[in-house]
Amino acid sequence: VEGAMALCLYGSFLVDKISCATASETEVEDDSLLLDLLTPVIKSWPSEWCLEANKWSLQIHGGYGYTRDYAPEQTYRDNRLNMIHEGTNGIQSLDLLGRKVHLQNGRGIDLLCKRVEETIKIANEIGKKTYLSNLEKHAEALADATTRLQRTTSVLKKAGENDPALMLCNSHEYLNMFGHTVV
């Protein structure tokens, strides 16, 4: 849930940065492209996976049965509507894989991967200098996930050249993979 919140706040940060008068034209273009790429993920990934987390929070009550005595019940009902309010996740996944990934010949995903690589580098440096040794393990896992995302994107783009329907039938799982990687 915290990762989903961070993703939403990062999208808000990009909106603010784009509208800021101090940003250079290149920064505005890059941030706009990155925001375009991330928007379907920001709108759909949290609505699906926070609902899943909330579903598991209901399990804590075990044999108590369905009740309105505890907050997770109301949160679950509220979260269930998010997929509808933000546009269906299927449409968001088609937008991501069918349009956003291809903008400017894939420059958006290249920008994203570059920023992730910078984050990995910083995490490794911090992990070496501090007691946060697990940080390096997390950085390595993120690097692996990013590589898988890049490979999957490449394979799906290639498949889409010959058969767009084949590419798009994988859009929902691609969005999940994308969201898990960026969160």
Distance CA 66, CA 74 (A): 11
Enter the pTM of the model: 0.85
94: which 2 tokens?
């088609």
Question: What value does the mean pLDDT take over residues 144-169?
Answer: 96
Give the percent of the chain with pLDDT over 90: 61
Answer yes or no: is pLDDT of 122 > 70: yes
Question: What value does the mean pLDDT take over residues 26-40?
Answer: 95
Q: Tell me the pLDDT of the chain averaged across its residues.
A: 88
Question: What value does the mean pLDDT take over residues 13-22?
Answer: 89
- Determine the angle formed by the axes of helices 25-59 and 171-182, rounding to 10 degrees: 100
- Report which residue type is found at 148: R
Distance CA 52, CA 168 (A): 24
Distance CA 21, CA 151 (A): 37
If one counts every other C-beta atom within 10 angstroms of the C-beta of residue 79, the result is 20
Distance CA 40, CA 100 (A): 9
Contact (CB, 8 A) for 98 and 163: no
Answer yes or no: is pLDDT of 31 > 80: yes
Answer yes or no: is pLDDT of 173 > 80: yes
State pLDDT tens for residues 34-67. 999 999 999 988 888 878 888 777 777 765 656 6
Residue environment code for 20-33, b if the CB has 16+ CB neighbours within 10 A, otherwise e: eeeeeeeeeebbeb
What does the pLDDT read at residue 99? 95
Regarding predicted confidence, which is higher, 7 or 66?
Answer: 7
Regarding predicted confidence, which is higher, 84 or 33?
Answer: 33
Q: What phi and psi, each to the nearest 5 degrees, are found at residue 143?
A: -60, -45
pLDDT range class, residue 154, cuts 50, 70, 90: very high
